[in-house]
Structure 1
Amino acid sequence: MDKANGKLWTGPQDAQRMVPGHVPRPRLRLVHQWAERDDAYKAELYDRVAGDIVSSTPALVTAVPSLPAVWWRALRTALACLSTVPTDRTAVRQVYLDRAMPKYLAFLDGPVSTTPPAWSTAHGDLHWANLAGPGLGILDWEGWGTAPVGYDAALLHAYSLGVPEAAERVRRELATILDSEGGRFAELVVVTELLQSTERGDNAELVPALRQRAEEVWHRNATVGG
């Protein structure tokens, strides 16, 4: 009951109210809330999503998604539009970065800044099981809010690292974001989060690729002075 008014509880309704309709997502039609003893419940009715989710798991395992160029264009447009949505919601907190990044990136050859170049609004959970195709649909709006700029692109890329061809496609399609100073910082944030998630048994298969990618990004930052 004490979480019934938190960020995850209100996220879908906030998104329906605040995120422009041309960011493709299923429309939230009806919400019903009730309480029983010490528990709160909530049911949400959405429009049916056209197409299918791209993957049944957040991280790609074997297949490279077969997505048309128009899908990628729509994703770039959606992320750009979402990034400018004003909100007081928070997806990633500075206090978390200050605490977690030095701990989980300690294997790198030097210190890592914990201060993002900039912040923007993000979906906050942009992985392959939250994306539909062949027409773009973005699902699961519970956790959206402000995050380091480039966070969504970095997260999608990290969840692609198990399939190198897919990771390369993400880097190519979202290069404008990932090749920026903000994008590189966001990649280190995402690596931090996913390495931490292995402590609860998630994403263990991605650990070698995550560590390798963090080293690549860190050395790139050192080269360009980022």
Structure 2
Amino acid sequence: MDKASGKLWTGPEDAQRLVPQQVPRPRLHLVRQWVEREGAYQAELYDYAVGVSLSSSPVLAVEPALTAAWWKGLRTALDCLSPLRTGRTVMRQAYLDRAMPKYLAFLGDEVPTVPPAWTTAHGDLHWGNLTGPELAILDWEGWGSAPAGYDAALLHAYSLAVPETAERVRRELAAILDSRAGRFAELVVITELLQSAERGDNLELLPALRQRAGEVWFHGLGPVSPPGGLSPG
């Protein structure tokens, strides 16, 4: 009962009301909530998703065959989502201040923790939440404010086990990932995934994550701290 509110509980309905129609996703038609004994329940009725999920897990294992139109649709979706104003949050500045120095200490120099900017993100943009051959973005429970470039950085990190796809992500989303904000977002995502590895998640990505952190830091971001931006708190 104590979890029958908050970001994850309201995310799908908030997305249906606020996320632009240009962002392809199954439409939410109906929500029903009820209480049974000590539990609260919520059922959601959506359009049937187009295509099929591109992975059975967040970490990509096999290179997907995706068209130029699919990638263009993804870029358009991220461009439409990022300027959206919302009080929802994917993460807060306090998490970055606490976690980034700890999990990126192996980089040696002082790692910046303040993003160049905050924008709106899906917040869980991995291959299991994307469909093909027609693009749809699934799972809108956790969307909200995040460091600019967060979605692109997360998709890239979950692609590292398939180098050809990781390179394709870097190429197709270069306008985001090649920016200073995009590089910072990569360090944010790597921080999260290194932390989750302590729980046994995504262990196959550990070597690639550490290598990528070094590439971003020594060849694109460090050692100058990024300029401060407005933070959601």
Which TM-score band (shorter chain)? over 0.9
Counterpart in 2 of 1:202?
Answer: 201
Deviation of 1:21 after TM superposition, in Å, equals 1.1
Determine helix, strand or coil for the equivalent of 1:95. helix
State the match for 2:122 in structure 1.
123
Structure 1: give runs of 5+ residues left out of the alignment. none
Query: Matched residue of 1:75: which SS?
Result: helix
- Post-superposition offset of 1:37: 2.1
1:135: how far off? 1.1
Task: Summarize deviations over 1:186-205 as a string: whole Å, max 9, x none.
Answer: 00000000000011111100
Give the aligned partner of residue 229 of structure 2.
none
Q: 1:149 to 1:27 in 2, by over 3 A?
A: same
CA contact (8 A) 2:32 2:42 kept: yes
Map of 1:219 onto structure 2: 218
Equivalent position amino acid for 1:18 in 2: L
One-letter code of the match for 1:44?
E
What is the CA-CA distance between 1:223 and the residue it aligns to?
A: 7.5
SS in 2 for 1:23: coil
Post-superposition Cα deviations, 1:74-120, rounded to whole Å, max 9, x if no partner, equal 00000000001110000011000000001100111211000000000
| RMSD value, Cα | 1.1
Which secondary structure does the structure 2 equivalent of 1:125 belong to? coil
CA shift, 1:222, in A, is 3.0
Aligned 1:138-177 pairs, distance under 5 A = 138-177=137-176
- Cα deviation 1:4-58 (Å, max 9, x = unaligned): 1110000000000000111000000111100112211111110001111111111
Alpha-carbon distance in structure 1 between the residues aligned to 2:111 and 2:38: 43
Amino acid at match of 1:192: T
Counterpart-to-counterpart distance in 1, 2:223 and 2:8: 39
Deviating 4+ runs (over 2 angstroms): 222-226
State the match for 1:78 in structure 2: 77
Distance 1:36 1:107 in 2: 49
2:108 aligned residue: 109
CA contact (8 A) 2:110 2:223 kept: no
Q: Which amino acid aligns with 1:55?
A: S
Please list every run of 5 or more consecutive structure 2 residues that lacks an aligned counterpart in the other structure.
Answer: 227-233
TM-score, reference length from structure 1: 0.97
- State which drifts further: 158-167 or 35-44: 35-44
So what's the TM-score if we normalise by structure 2? 0.94
- Give the Å deviation of 1:3: 1.1
1:183 to 1:49, Cα distance in 2 relative to 1, 3 A: same
In structure 2, distance between residues paired with 1:224 and 1:174: 24
Distance in 1 (CA, whole Å) between partners of 2:106 and 2:223 is 18
